[in-house]
Protein backbone atom coordinates (compact mmCIF):
# COMPACT_ATOMS: atom_id res chain seq x y z
CA UNK A 1 0.00 0.00 0.00
CA UNK A 2 1.30 3.42 -0.96
CA UNK A 3 1.73 6.36 1.38
CA UNK A 4 -1.23 8.73 0.83
CA UNK A 5 1.19 11.65 1.02
CA UNK A 6 3.26 10.18 -1.82
CA UNK A 7 0.15 9.74 -3.96
CA UNK A 8 -1.04 13.25 -3.15
CA UNK A 9 2.30 14.74 -4.24
CA UNK A 10 2.99 12.38 -7.17
CA UNK A 11 -0.34 11.48 -8.82
CA UNK A 12 1.13 11.22 -12.33
CA UNK A 13 3.88 8.86 -11.17
CA UNK A 14 1.25 6.64 -9.55
CA UNK A 15 -0.82 6.66 -12.74
CA UNK A 16 2.21 5.81 -14.87
CA UNK A 17 2.96 2.88 -12.56
CA UNK A 18 -0.63 1.66 -13.00
CA UNK A 19 -0.19 1.84 -16.78
CA UNK A 20 3.04 -0.15 -16.55
CA UNK A 21 1.09 -2.86 -14.77
CA UNK A 22 -1.62 -2.78 -17.46
CA UNK A 23 -4.34 -1.99 -14.93
CA UNK A 24 -5.83 1.06 -16.66
CA UNK A 25 -9.21 0.41 -15.02
CA UNK A 26 -7.62 1.62 -11.78
CA UNK A 27 -6.52 5.01 -13.18
CA UNK A 28 -9.71 6.83 -12.05
CA UNK A 29 -9.02 5.67 -8.49
CA UNK A 30 -6.07 8.05 -8.22
CA UNK A 31 -8.21 11.14 -8.84
CA UNK A 32 -10.98 9.74 -6.67
CA UNK A 33 -8.73 9.20 -3.69
CA UNK A 34 -7.21 12.69 -4.09
CA UNK A 35 -10.70 14.22 -4.05
CA UNK A 36 -11.70 12.11 -1.04
CA UNK A 37 -8.47 13.01 0.73
CA UNK A 38 -9.09 16.74 0.23
CA UNK A 39 -12.65 16.41 1.50
CA UNK A 40 -11.49 14.34 4.46
CA UNK A 41 -8.82 16.84 5.44
CA UNK A 42 -11.40 19.66 5.25
CA UNK A 43 -13.72 17.70 7.54
CA UNK A 44 -10.84 16.96 9.91
CA UNK A 45 -9.94 20.66 10.04
CA UNK A 46 -13.53 21.63 10.76
CA UNK A 47 -13.74 18.94 13.45
CA UNK A 48 -10.51 20.13 15.07
CA UNK A 49 -11.85 23.70 15.15
CA UNK A 50 -15.10 22.50 16.71
CA UNK A 51 -13.20 20.50 19.35
CA UNK A 52 -11.06 23.50 20.24
CA UNK A 53 -14.09 25.80 20.50
CA UNK A 54 -16.08 23.24 22.48
CA UNK A 55 -13.21 22.77 24.94
CA UNK A 56 -12.86 26.55 25.30
CA UNK A 57 -16.56 26.96 26.06
CA UNK A 58 -16.53 23.98 28.45
CA UNK A 59 -13.77 25.59 30.48
CA UNK A 60 -15.83 28.80 30.78
CA UNK A 61 -18.85 27.04 32.27
CA UNK A 62 -17.29 26.49 35.68
CA UNK A 63 -16.22 30.12 35.93
CA UNK A 64 -19.66 31.42 34.94
CA UNK A 65 -21.30 29.17 37.55
CA UNK A 66 -18.86 30.40 40.19
CA UNK A 67 -19.78 34.00 39.30
CA UNK A 68 -23.46 33.21 39.61
CA UNK A 69 -24.08 33.72 35.91
CA UNK A 70 -26.36 30.74 35.59
CA UNK A 71 -28.15 31.89 32.44
CA UNK A 72 -24.86 32.43 30.63
CA UNK A 73 -23.61 29.08 31.92
CA UNK A 74 -26.74 27.32 30.62
CA UNK A 75 -26.33 29.01 27.23
CA UNK A 76 -22.72 27.81 27.17
CA UNK A 77 -23.87 24.27 27.97
CA UNK A 78 -26.37 24.46 25.10
CA UNK A 79 -23.63 25.51 22.71
CA UNK A 80 -21.40 22.65 23.92
CA UNK A 81 -24.25 20.22 23.32
CA UNK A 82 -24.87 21.59 19.82
CA UNK A 83 -21.22 21.47 18.93
CA UNK A 84 -20.91 17.93 20.32
CA UNK A 85 -23.72 16.80 18.03
CA UNK A 86 -22.09 18.58 15.06
CA UNK A 87 -18.75 17.04 15.97
CA UNK A 88 -20.25 13.54 16.12
CA UNK A 89 -21.63 14.03 12.60
CA UNK A 90 -18.21 15.21 11.37
CA UNK A 91 -16.45 12.27 13.03
CA UNK A 92 -18.85 9.90 11.28
CA UNK A 93 -17.94 11.58 7.98
CA UNK A 94 -14.26 11.18 8.84
CA UNK A 95 -14.74 7.46 9.39
CA UNK A 96 -16.60 7.07 6.09
CA UNK A 97 -13.97 8.99 4.15
CA UNK A 98 -11.12 7.12 5.86
CA UNK A 99 -12.65 3.72 5.10
CA UNK A 100 -13.21 4.55 1.42
CA UNK A 101 -9.70 5.99 1.12
CA UNK A 102 -8.24 2.90 2.79
CA UNK A 103 -10.03 0.55 0.39
CA UNK A 104 -8.84 2.49 -2.64
CA UNK A 105 -5.27 2.74 -1.35
CA UNK A 106 -5.25 -1.03 -0.79
CA UNK A 107 -6.30 -1.49 -4.42
CA UNK A 108 -3.78 0.84 -6.07
CA UNK A 109 -0.60 -1.18 -6.83
CA UNK A 110 2.76 -0.58 -5.22
CA UNK A 111 5.43 1.31 -7.16
CA UNK A 112 7.55 -1.24 -9.01
CA UNK A 113 11.34 -1.14 -9.03
CA UNK A 114 12.83 0.66 -12.09
CA UNK A 115 14.66 -2.56 -13.04
CA UNK A 116 11.41 -4.52 -13.54
CA UNK A 117 10.81 -5.35 -17.24
CA UNK A 118 7.54 -4.05 -18.65
CA UNK A 119 5.17 -6.76 -19.88
CA UNK A 120 1.52 -7.77 -19.72
CA UNK A 121 1.74 -11.25 -18.18
CA UNK A 122 4.06 -14.15 -17.31
CA UNK A 123 4.67 -14.88 -21.00
CA UNK A 124 6.80 -11.73 -21.02
CA UNK A 125 8.96 -12.61 -18.00
CA UNK A 126 12.67 -12.39 -18.76
CA UNK A 127 15.20 -15.17 -18.24
CA UNK A 128 18.12 -13.94 -16.15
CA UNK A 129 20.48 -16.87 -15.63
CA UNK A 130 20.73 -20.66 -15.85
CA UNK A 131 22.40 -22.87 -13.27
CA UNK A 132 23.39 -26.42 -14.20
CA UNK A 133 23.16 -28.11 -17.58
CA UNK A 134 19.61 -29.12 -18.58
CA UNK A 135 19.71 -32.63 -20.00
CA UNK A 136 17.25 -34.98 -21.70
CA UNK A 137 18.04 -38.68 -21.13
CA UNK A 138 17.90 -41.24 -23.95
CA UNK A 139 14.96 -43.04 -22.31
CA UNK A 140 11.36 -41.95 -21.92
CA UNK A 141 10.49 -40.27 -18.62
CA UNK A 142 6.94 -41.08 -17.44
CA UNK A 143 4.55 -38.50 -16.02
CA UNK A 144 5.38 -37.80 -12.37
CA UNK A 145 2.37 -39.64 -10.97
CA UNK A 146 3.35 -42.73 -13.00
CA UNK A 147 6.83 -42.58 -11.48
CA UNK A 148 5.30 -42.36 -8.01
CA UNK A 149 2.88 -45.20 -8.75
CA UNK A 150 5.88 -47.39 -9.63
CA UNK A 151 6.84 -47.14 -5.96
CA UNK A 152 3.29 -47.63 -4.70
CA UNK A 153 3.79 -44.06 -3.53
CA UNK A 154 0.64 -42.13 -4.42
CA UNK A 155 -3.13 -42.60 -4.18
CA UNK A 156 -5.13 -39.91 -5.96
CA UNK A 157 -8.37 -41.91 -6.19
CA UNK A 158 -8.51 -42.42 -2.45
CA UNK A 159 -7.88 -38.71 -1.88
CA UNK A 160 -10.71 -37.80 -4.25
CA UNK A 161 -13.08 -40.01 -2.26
CA UNK A 162 -12.00 -38.37 0.97
CA UNK A 163 -11.54 -34.72 -0.03
CA UNK A 164 -12.19 -34.28 -3.76
CA UNK A 165 -9.86 -33.18 -6.56
CA UNK A 166 -6.65 -31.37 -5.71
CA UNK A 167 -5.60 -33.67 -2.85
CA UNK A 168 -3.39 -36.75 -2.61
CA UNK A 169 -2.02 -39.50 -0.40
CA UNK A 170 1.75 -40.00 -0.48
CA UNK A 171 2.85 -43.45 0.67
CA UNK A 172 6.03 -45.31 1.58
CA UNK A 173 9.32 -44.15 0.03
CA UNK A 174 7.64 -41.26 -1.81
CA UNK A 175 6.13 -39.97 1.43
CA UNK A 176 9.51 -40.37 3.12
CA UNK A 177 11.20 -38.52 0.26
CA UNK A 178 8.68 -35.70 0.65
CA UNK A 179 9.52 -35.35 4.35
CA UNK A 180 13.25 -35.71 3.67
CA UNK A 181 13.23 -32.79 1.25
CA UNK A 182 11.43 -30.57 3.77
CA UNK A 183 13.84 -31.57 6.58
CA UNK A 184 16.87 -31.05 4.35
CA UNK A 185 15.58 -27.60 3.32
CA UNK A 186 15.03 -26.67 6.97
CA UNK A 187 18.59 -27.60 7.95
CA UNK A 188 20.00 -26.02 4.78
CA UNK A 189 18.55 -22.65 5.80
CA UNK A 190 19.53 -23.04 9.46
CA UNK A 191 23.11 -23.67 8.32
CA UNK A 192 22.91 -20.39 6.42
CA UNK A 193 22.07 -18.46 9.56
CA UNK A 194 18.26 -18.39 9.44
CA UNK A 195 16.16 -18.98 12.55
CA UNK A 196 13.69 -21.86 12.25
CA UNK A 197 10.04 -21.10 13.08
CA UNK A 198 6.81 -23.11 13.05
CA UNK A 199 4.04 -20.46 12.84
CA UNK A 200 0.25 -20.55 13.30
CA UNK A 201 -1.52 -22.11 10.32
CA UNK A 202 -4.55 -19.81 10.66
CA UNK A 203 -4.66 -16.02 10.73
CA UNK A 204 -7.22 -13.29 11.37
CA UNK A 205 -8.70 -11.11 8.63
CA UNK A 206 -6.68 -8.08 9.76
CA UNK A 207 -3.50 -10.00 9.01
CA UNK A 208 -4.84 -11.32 5.69
CA UNK A 209 -5.53 -7.81 4.38
CA UNK A 210 -2.19 -6.69 5.77
CA UNK A 211 -0.08 -9.18 3.84
CA UNK A 212 -1.82 -9.55 0.49
CA UNK A 213 -4.02 -7.81 -2.08
CA UNK A 214 -7.79 -8.29 -2.28
CA UNK A 215 -7.40 -10.12 -5.61
CA UNK A 216 -4.92 -12.60 -4.08
CA UNK A 217 -7.16 -13.06 -1.05
CA UNK A 218 -10.18 -13.92 -3.17
CA UNK A 219 -8.23 -16.35 -5.36
CA UNK A 220 -6.36 -18.10 -2.57
CA UNK A 221 -7.76 -18.02 0.93
CA UNK A 222 -10.06 -20.52 2.66
CA UNK A 223 -12.26 -18.90 5.34
CA UNK A 224 -13.16 -20.74 8.54
CA UNK A 225 -16.95 -20.54 8.80
CA UNK A 226 -18.34 -18.37 11.63
CA UNK A 227 -14.85 -17.39 12.82
CA UNK A 228 -12.49 -14.56 12.01
CA UNK A 229 -9.87 -17.02 10.81
CA UNK A 230 -8.39 -18.03 7.46
CA UNK A 231 -6.15 -20.98 6.55
CA UNK A 232 -2.78 -19.69 5.40
CA UNK A 233 -1.78 -20.00 1.75
CA UNK A 234 1.89 -19.71 2.75
CA UNK A 235 3.70 -19.25 6.04
CA UNK A 236 4.75 -15.78 4.88
CA UNK A 237 1.27 -14.67 5.92
CA UNK A 238 1.57 -15.59 9.58
CA UNK A 239 5.31 -14.90 9.74
CA UNK A 240 4.93 -11.26 8.67
CA UNK A 241 1.65 -11.00 10.59
CA UNK A 242 3.59 -11.69 13.77
CA UNK A 243 4.77 -8.06 13.67
CA UNK A 244 1.34 -6.43 13.34
CA UNK A 245 1.10 -3.19 15.38
CA UNK A 246 4.64 -3.73 16.69
CA UNK A 247 7.51 -1.29 17.09
CA UNK A 248 10.75 -3.17 16.39
CA UNK A 249 14.02 -1.96 17.91
CA UNK A 250 16.39 -1.26 15.04
CA UNK A 251 19.18 -3.31 16.59
CA UNK A 252 16.98 -6.43 16.18
CA UNK A 253 17.14 -6.10 12.38
CA UNK A 254 17.46 -7.91 10.13
CA UNK A 255 15.10 -10.74 11.05
CA UNK A 256 16.14 -13.73 8.94
CA UNK A 257 13.63 -16.52 9.44
CA UNK A 258 12.84 -19.85 7.80
CA UNK A 259 9.44 -21.36 8.43
CA UNK A 260 7.63 -24.63 7.84
CA UNK A 261 3.90 -24.92 7.29
CA UNK A 262 1.18 -26.69 5.39
CA UNK A 263 -0.38 -24.35 2.82
CA UNK A 264 -4.00 -24.22 1.69
CA UNK A 265 -5.09 -22.63 -1.59
CA UNK A 266 -8.33 -22.45 -3.55
CA UNK A 267 -6.40 -22.34 -6.87
CA UNK A 268 -9.38 -20.92 -8.74
CA UNK A 269 -9.73 -21.57 -12.47
CA UNK A 270 -8.56 -24.17 -14.96
CA UNK A 271 -4.86 -24.87 -15.14
CA UNK A 272 -4.21 -27.13 -18.13
CA UNK A 273 -2.98 -30.64 -18.71
CA UNK A 274 0.54 -30.16 -17.36
CA UNK A 275 -0.93 -29.18 -14.02
CA UNK A 276 -2.81 -32.42 -13.44
CA UNK A 277 -1.38 -34.88 -10.94
CA UNK A 278 0.15 -33.04 -7.99
CA UNK A 279 1.47 -29.95 -9.77
CA UNK A 280 -1.31 -27.58 -8.64
CA UNK A 281 -3.20 -28.67 -5.55
CA UNK A 282 -5.25 -27.34 -2.64
CA UNK A 283 -2.93 -28.54 0.13
CA UNK A 284 0.84 -28.85 0.25
CA UNK A 285 3.80 -28.25 2.56
CA UNK A 286 6.50 -25.67 2.17
CA UNK A 287 9.70 -24.36 3.67
CA UNK A 288 9.81 -20.57 3.36
CA UNK A 289 12.30 -17.81 4.10
CA UNK A 290 11.35 -14.37 5.42
CA UNK A 291 13.41 -11.23 5.94
CA UNK A 292 12.46 -8.01 7.73
CA UNK A 293 15.17 -5.39 7.25
CA UNK A 294 16.13 -1.74 6.86
CA UNK A 295 14.88 -0.29 3.56
CA UNK A 296 18.38 0.30 2.20
CA UNK A 297 19.29 -3.37 2.77
CA UNK A 298 16.37 -5.00 0.94
CA UNK A 299 17.98 -5.12 -2.56
CA UNK A 300 20.94 -7.05 -1.14
CA UNK A 301 18.69 -9.46 0.75
CA UNK A 302 16.56 -9.97 -2.36
CA UNK A 303 19.55 -11.33 -4.28
CA UNK A 304 20.66 -13.46 -1.36
CA UNK A 305 17.25 -15.08 -0.98
CA UNK A 306 16.77 -16.35 -4.52
CA UNK A 307 20.39 -17.52 -4.54
CA UNK A 308 19.69 -19.74 -1.51
CA UNK A 309 16.95 -21.53 -3.47
CA UNK A 310 19.19 -21.95 -6.49
CA UNK A 311 21.95 -23.39 -4.30
CA UNK A 312 19.58 -25.86 -2.64
CA UNK A 313 18.27 -27.21 -5.96
CA UNK A 314 21.76 -27.46 -7.39
CA UNK A 315 22.88 -29.41 -4.31
CA UNK A 316 20.31 -32.03 -5.36
CA UNK A 317 21.53 -32.07 -8.99
CA UNK A 318 18.50 -30.23 -10.36
CA UNK A 319 19.20 -27.63 -13.08
CA UNK A 320 17.35 -24.34 -12.54
CA UNK A 321 16.99 -20.91 -14.03
CA UNK A 322 15.84 -17.53 -12.72
CA UNK A 323 13.20 -15.37 -14.38
CA UNK A 324 12.65 -11.67 -13.74
CA UNK A 325 8.89 -11.18 -13.38
CA UNK A 326 7.55 -8.46 -15.64
CA UNK A 327 5.32 -5.62 -14.44
CA UNK A 328 2.05 -7.28 -15.40
CA UNK A 329 2.96 -10.49 -13.57
CA UNK A 330 3.71 -8.78 -10.25
CA UNK A 331 1.10 -8.95 -7.50
CA UNK A 332 0.04 -5.47 -6.42
CA UNK A 333 2.10 -5.37 -3.23
CA UNK A 334 5.35 -6.47 -4.88
CA UNK A 335 8.17 -4.13 -5.85
CA UNK A 336 10.23 -6.79 -7.59
CA UNK A 337 10.07 -10.56 -8.01
CA UNK A 338 12.20 -13.38 -9.40
CA UNK A 339 10.88 -16.87 -10.07
CA UNK A 340 13.10 -19.93 -9.74
CA UNK A 341 12.22 -22.60 -12.30
CA UNK A 342 13.45 -26.21 -12.32
CA UNK A 343 14.28 -28.19 -15.45
CA UNK A 344 11.79 -30.86 -16.50
CA UNK A 345 13.54 -33.41 -18.75
CA UNK A 346 10.16 -34.97 -19.53
CA UNK A 347 8.63 -31.70 -20.78
CA UNK A 348 11.99 -30.41 -22.06
CA UNK A 349 11.33 -27.08 -20.44
CA UNK A 350 11.54 -25.30 -17.07
CA UNK A 351 8.63 -24.93 -14.63
CA UNK A 352 8.16 -22.76 -11.55
CA UNK A 353 9.22 -24.16 -8.19
CA UNK A 354 9.65 -20.97 -6.17
CA UNK A 355 9.25 -17.22 -6.12
CA UNK A 356 11.32 -14.52 -4.41
CA UNK A 357 9.68 -11.16 -3.72
CA UNK A 358 10.60 -7.76 -2.31
CA UNK A 359 7.46 -6.01 -1.06
CA UNK A 360 9.15 -2.79 0.03
CA UNK A 361 7.26 -1.19 2.91
CA UNK A 362 3.78 -2.19 1.64
CA UNK A 363 3.12 -4.94 4.19
CA UNK A 364 4.67 -2.89 6.99
CA UNK A 365 2.38 0.06 6.24
CA UNK A 366 -0.73 -2.14 6.11
CA UNK A 367 0.18 -3.96 9.33
CA UNK A 368 1.42 -0.81 11.09
CA UNK A 369 4.85 -2.35 11.65
CA UNK A 370 7.49 0.21 12.57
CA UNK A 371 11.15 0.29 13.48
CA UNK A 372 12.55 2.61 16.16
CA UNK A 373 16.16 3.71 15.68
CA UNK A 374 18.53 4.59 18.53
CA UNK A 375 17.17 8.15 18.62
CA UNK A 376 13.57 6.97 18.80
CA UNK A 377 12.77 7.98 15.24
CA UNK A 378 10.32 5.55 13.63
CA UNK A 379 10.21 4.25 10.06
CA UNK A 380 8.73 1.38 8.06
CA UNK A 381 10.88 -1.70 7.44
CA UNK A 382 10.98 -3.67 4.18
CA UNK A 383 9.75 -7.26 4.01
CA UNK A 384 10.89 -10.03 1.66
CA UNK A 385 9.92 -13.65 1.17
CA UNK A 386 11.12 -16.60 -0.89
CA UNK A 387 10.31 -20.27 -1.34
CA UNK A 388 13.01 -22.65 -0.15
CA UNK A 389 11.17 -25.76 -1.38
CA UNK A 390 7.53 -26.66 -1.90
CA UNK A 391 6.85 -30.37 -2.35
CA UNK A 392 5.24 -31.92 -4.23
CA UNK A 393 6.38 -29.62 -7.07
CA UNK A 394 9.90 -30.06 -5.87
CA UNK A 395 9.34 -33.84 -5.94
CA UNK A 396 8.38 -33.65 -9.62
CA UNK A 397 11.69 -31.96 -10.44
CA UNK A 398 13.61 -34.30 -8.16
CA UNK A 399 12.12 -37.51 -9.55
CA UNK A 400 12.51 -36.51 -13.20
CA UNK A 401 16.11 -35.32 -12.82
CA UNK A 402 17.26 -38.29 -10.74
CA UNK A 403 15.35 -41.01 -12.57
CA UNK A 404 17.47 -43.88 -13.93
CA UNK A 405 16.82 -46.08 -17.03
CA UNK A 406 15.52 -48.94 -14.83
CA UNK A 407 13.00 -46.48 -13.24
CA UNK A 408 14.91 -46.40 -9.97
CA UNK A 409 15.64 -42.97 -8.45
CA UNK A 410 19.11 -41.89 -7.38
CA UNK A 411 19.37 -40.14 -4.01
CA UNK A 412 22.02 -37.36 -4.07
CA UNK A 413 24.51 -37.40 -1.22
CA UNK A 414 23.08 -34.46 0.82
CA UNK A 415 19.66 -36.12 1.04
CA UNK A 416 20.84 -39.61 2.03
CA UNK A 417 21.02 -38.96 5.81
CA UNK A 418 17.32 -37.99 5.67
CA UNK A 419 16.47 -41.20 3.77
CA UNK A 420 18.05 -43.63 6.21
CA UNK A 421 21.27 -43.77 4.20
CA UNK A 422 19.59 -45.00 1.01
CA UNK A 423 21.47 -44.27 -2.19
CA UNK A 424 18.70 -45.35 -4.54
CA UNK A 425 14.96 -45.98 -4.47
CA UNK A 426 13.84 -49.10 -6.30
CA UNK A 427 10.30 -49.31 -7.70
CA UNK A 428 8.08 -52.16 -6.56
CA UNK A 429 5.14 -51.61 -8.96
CA UNK A 430 2.60 -52.29 -6.27
CA UNK A 431 0.97 -50.67 -3.24
CA UNK A 432 2.86 -50.79 -0.01
CA UNK A 433 0.96 -49.52 2.99
Q: Which residues are designated catalytic?
A: 265, 280, 352, 355, 393
The string of DSSP letters for 60-117 reads HHHHHHHTT-HHHHHHHHHHHHHHHHHHHHHHHHHHHHHHHHHHHHTTSPPPPPTTSP
Q: What is the DSSP letter of 403?
A: B
Q: How many CA atoms lie within 13 A of 89 on its CB side?
A: 7
The Cα–Cα gap between 139 and 130 comes to 24
Distances (CA, A) of 355 to 134, 198, 242, 329, 334: 20, 20, 21, 12, 12
The Cα–Cα gap between 199 and 259 comes to 7
The Cα–Cα gap between 305 and 164 comes to 35
Task: Specify whether the CB–CB gap between 271 and 248 falls below 8 A.
Answer: no
Task: Specify whether the CB–CB gap between 338 and 31 falls below 8 A.
Answer: no
Task: Specify whether the CB–CB gap between 271 and 315 falls below 8 A.
Answer: no
Beta strands in 113-182 (DSSP E): 126-131, 154-155, 169-170
Task: Specify whether the CB–CB gap between 279 and 256 falls below 8 A.
Answer: no
The Cα–Cα gap between 287 and 258 comes to 7
Does an H or E element contain 4, and which?
Answer: helix 4-9
The Cα–Cα gap between 268 and 411 comes to 35
37 contact partners, CB below 8 Å, separation of at least 6:
4, 8, 101
Would you tell me the crossing angle of helices 70-105 and 27-66 to the nearest 10 degrees? Answer: 160
Q: How many CA atoms lie within 13 A of 419 on its CB side?
A: 20
List alpha helices for 192-234, DSSP H.
Answer: 205-211, 214-220
* b/e 387-425 (16+ beta carbons within 10 angstroms → b): bbbbbbbbbbbbbbbbbeeebbbebeeebeebbeebeeb
33 contact partners, CB below 8 Å, separation of at least 6:
4, 7, 101, 104, 105, 108
Amino acid sequence: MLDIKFLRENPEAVKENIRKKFQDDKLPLVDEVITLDEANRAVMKEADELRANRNKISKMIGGLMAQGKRDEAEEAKRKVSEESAALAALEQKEEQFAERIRKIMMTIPNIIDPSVPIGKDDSENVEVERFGEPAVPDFEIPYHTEIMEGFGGIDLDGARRVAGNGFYYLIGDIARLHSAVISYARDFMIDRGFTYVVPPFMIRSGVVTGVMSFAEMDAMMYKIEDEDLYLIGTSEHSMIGRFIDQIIPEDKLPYTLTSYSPCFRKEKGAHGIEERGVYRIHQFEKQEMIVVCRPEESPVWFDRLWQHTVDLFRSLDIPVRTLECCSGDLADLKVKSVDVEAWSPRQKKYFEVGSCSNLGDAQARRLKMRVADKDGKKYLPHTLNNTVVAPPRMLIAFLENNLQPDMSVRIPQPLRPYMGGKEVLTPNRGPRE
